[in-house]
Amino acid sequence: MNNQQVAVWPGQPYPLGATWDGLGVNFALFSENATKVELCLFDQRGRQTACLELKEQTDQIWHCYLPQARPGWLYAYRAHGPYAPEEGHRFNPAKLLLDPYAKDLAGDLRWHDALFGYRIGGRKEDLAPDRRDSARYLPKCRVIDPAFTWGDDRPPATPWHDTVIYELHVKGFTKLLPQIPEQLRGTYAGLASEPAIDYLRRLGVTAVELMPVHALVDERHLVDRGLRNYWGYNTIGFFAPDKRYSAAAGVNEFKSMVKALHAAGIEVILDVVYNHTAEGNQLGPTLAFRGIDNRAYYRLEPDNLRYYRDYTGCGNTLNMQHPRVLQLIMDSLRYWVLEMHVDGFRFDLASALARELHEVDRLGAFFDIIHQDPVLSQVKLIAEPWDLGEGGYQVGNFPVGWTEWNGRYRDEVRSFWKGEGGAIGDLAYRLTGSSDLYERGGRRPYASINFITCHDGFTLRDLVSYNDKHNEANGEDNRDGESHNRSWNCGAEGPTDDAEINALRVRQQRNMLATLLLSQGVPMLCAGDEFGRSQQGNNNAYCQDNEISWLNWELDEEQQGLLAFTRRLLQLHRRHRVFRRQHFFQGRSLKGSEVKDIVWLTPGGSEMSDEEWSQDFARCLGLFLAGQVMVEEDERGRPMYDDSFLLLINAHHEEIPFTIPDLPPAKLWQVELDTFWPGGEEPASGRFLRPGEQFPLAARSLALLVAQPRYVNVQQHHIFGRSAKLAYPGYAAPGRLPESAALLNVHGDLRKK
């Protein structure tokens, strides 16, 4: 097919991208500064068959309609204009360009000097253009048919306060899972398989947060060293799911994965990278945005437009000041919600998106647009609240409607369990939802996404096994990665045969998992931490697409015990609303009761004084969580009840006898769990303690005690009959106690109390 054989109609400037309408395909591309744009067509082998000049231009949109075009057609663009880097322009028609709105890509990028807009190694560096054609080295855009049978698919719409996030990598989670058919491992289809979903359900998480799945590029320096960008934070296409995770069906395979997860009640959250692209700085390749309109798409240094303003550490920053760039991001977000049915987004380096001029503006255009959008304002929005620019650390400063990765939670919980003194005040804020960060802005405890580890940094097991990073496998002489990890190896660096050290390491993992899942806010688990996955001390495994990063499902007895403990914690979190409050604690007596909603306790069983909070040697505290009276109201204003708990925490290296407080109405306390004992099968389980007795809180351990009787003045609070269902969903029979409160052999019939 040549140019003469292709019928070209004017088409429409909207929507942007290649749109199949059932009769033909409309093509539309934004470029403010191009002087000419060509649409290039290719056969399935990647050979160019036609190059059509787009003669129609409306509001800086170049467009045409091809009545002969069909889904599956391959295309890309060439843009003409000045090559003048000092003026911010880098047009070079020799370079084939990907459509920023491409929904699917065909073929792989193969690194070659022709992919660069300038002649590599030339005396003028990027100031002189390279005239070699890059078409044979660049993947092509593919027209898709968006039709898909969603059936009765509905978003699970899990409330924020009931959400538990599980951060995973599509390939890493499924690559070695033996129950998945081998041809599906490492793919969207593998994650949609019954074994994968069954594991997630039995674990007890409500949402998966997928590390980047937008079409991405492996950096040339990694490919030259035989490595890949495993994490995926190097996006080139904001609409196309990366095909490296596709077993066969591409876009529809991703949709099928979402549909299967939804059917299991699991939400899908995407980690998205809108702060920069894979084109890098002025010495990077010309793949799409740079060649289409460099000056419009990127933040350039105002005093020298040759260079890029870099708030990301990746060479460039998208220009959020330009309305078409804002439109690109909003169109991409809406596409993933409306067409791909995802439930939310985690925004990588979100502070970079909030920079209007130079400073981070929490009320910038990006937030304004999202908040007024009827689609995006209703999905889960998570910010990574920092970037690498000045003033970029913005934990606690994002607007209402946003949640945040709480970096202070991570740091302060790590410091406490490492054994640093004087950290109990900071820990108290983190345990209770970080009111110091979020309450004044009108936000709720669930604004805090609590995490101790994530993809970036040590795994939980490595956090307690290494003092220093060991990133030699990355090929950068161990210079990469964070050096200040707040980690502690428990007495030996890396693997050891010392049984005492290994027991302490497992206990420290239990301590941090329990802290995470018993804190107010939204817990986020990093995949594999629930059973002690190790990356051999590598805290920056971004380029390790191998066994270092993949989850190894061959669990030893110790790992199986840790997994069972994590599942037990998640059951506690799910069953007890007192760990999932929608409002911050007030620290005062509850309505109609002498019981406070929360009480902070010293090891002596007395309430903490102001002076005791600031003691440098303090490494132990307790807190009482009230649930035996009305703890909150539901969305209809009806009272909700729960058990009351004592949480006792000891990061000291010695056992501390903790005096059980006299807090009405509890008469007895029963040990629910104790991290000192492996597998949760501690001898103390089920033990009852009275106020004034001492509980032996082991060194570096956490214990959870539940008040007995669990319900007092039951008739007064209408636990029986109709309103009992409010306290315990699924509790049906009037006059019958919930199973968890049936301790009649100890306390007699609670109905008589």
Residues 201 and 131 in one domain: no
Residues 111 and 193 in one domain: no
DSSP bridge partners of 318: 298
| pLDDT greater than 90 at residue 641 | no
Q: Write out the DSSP string of 415-447.
A: HHHHT-TT-HHHHHHHHBT-HHHHTTTT--GGG
Residues 628 and 704 in one domain: yes
Is there a domain that residue 408 lies in?
A: no
| pLDDT greater than 50 at residue 527 | yes
List the domain range (segments joined by +) for residue 49.
17-143
The maximal CA–CA distance of the chain, rounded, in angstroms, is 93
Three-state DSSP at 123 gives: coil
When pLDDT is cut at 50, 70 and 90, the band that residue 363 belongs to is: low
Question: Does residue 271 carry a catalytic annotation?
Answer: no
Mean pLDDT of the chain: 90
Tell me the percentage of the chain whose pLDDT exceeds 90.
82
Q: Write out the DSSP string of 636-654.
A: TS-EE----EEEEEE-SSS
| pLDDT greater than 80 at residue 2 | no
Which of 57-61, 409-413, 681-685, 713-717 shows the lowest mean pLDDT across its residues? Answer: 713-717
| pLDDT greater than 50 at residue 30 | yes
When pLDDT is cut at 50, 70 and 90, the band that residue 115 belongs to is: very high
Give CA separation, 86 vs 82, 325, 615, in Å: 11, 22, 59
- The predicted model gives 86-107 an average pLDDT of 98
| pLDDT greater than 90 at residue 639 | no
Residues 220 and 104 in one domain: no
Q: How many CA atoms lie within 13 A of 87 on its CB side?
A: 9
Q: CB of 16 within 8 A of CB of 31?
A: no
Residues 6+ apart with CB under 8 A from 472: 478
- Count of the separate structural domains present in the chain: 3
Taking the CA atoms of residue 426, residue 431, residue 433 and residue 437 in that order, the dihedral angle to the nearest 10 degrees is: 10
pLDDT digits (tens, 9 = 90+) for 563-602: 999 999 999 999 999 999 999 998 766 555 567 889 999 9
The 3-class secondary structure across 173-188, one letter per residue, is HHCCCCCCCHHHCCCH
| pLDDT greater than 90 at residue 722 | no
Residues 6+ apart with CB under 8 A from 101: 15, 16, 17, 18, 28, 29, 239, 328, 331
Task: Write the burial class of residue 152 (CB in 10 Å: 0-12 exposed, 13-18 middle, 19+ buried).
Answer: exposed
Q: Write out the DSSP string of 477-503.
A: TT-SS-S------TTSSS----HHHHH
Would you state the pLDDT for residue 708? Answer: 86
Would you state the pLDDT for residue 719? Answer: 31
Task: Write the burial class of residue 47 (CB in 10 Å: 0-12 exposed, 13-18 middle, 19+ buried).
Answer: exposed
When pLDDT is cut at 50, 70 and 90, the band that residue 355 belongs to is: confident
When pLDDT is cut at 50, 70 and 90, the band that residue 637 belongs to is: low
When pLDDT is cut at 50, 70 and 90, the band that residue 441 belongs to is: confident
- The predicted model gives 182-211 an average pLDDT of 98
Helical residues (DSSP H) of 576-630, grouped into ranges: 610-613
| pLDDT greater than 90 at residue 44 | yes
Q: Of 254, 271, 288, which residue sits at a domain end?
A: 271
Residues 133 and 21 in one domain: yes
Question: Does residue 477 carry a catalytic annotation?
Answer: no
Residues 196 and 108 in one domain: no
- The predicted model gives 166-172 an average pLDDT of 98
Q: How many CA atoms lie within 13 A of 623 on its CB side?
A: 23
Q: Which residue has the higher pLDDT, 746 or 85?
A: 85
Q: Of 271, 289, 320, which residue sits at a domain end?
A: 271
**In this structure, what CATH number is given to the domain that contains residue 35?**
2.60.40.10
How far apart are the C-alpha atoms of 44 and 73, rounded to whole Å?
8
Which of 121-130, 598-607, 707-716 shows the lowest mean pLDDT across its residues? Answer: 707-716
Q: Which of 167, 271, 348, 674 is catalytic?
A: 348
Q: Which of 104, 126, 271, 384 is catalytic?
A: 384
Is there a domain that residue 7 lies in?
A: no
Token pair for residue 53? 């000049």
Cβ atoms within 10 A of the Cβ of 630, count?
A: 19
Is there a domain that residue 73 lies in?
A: yes
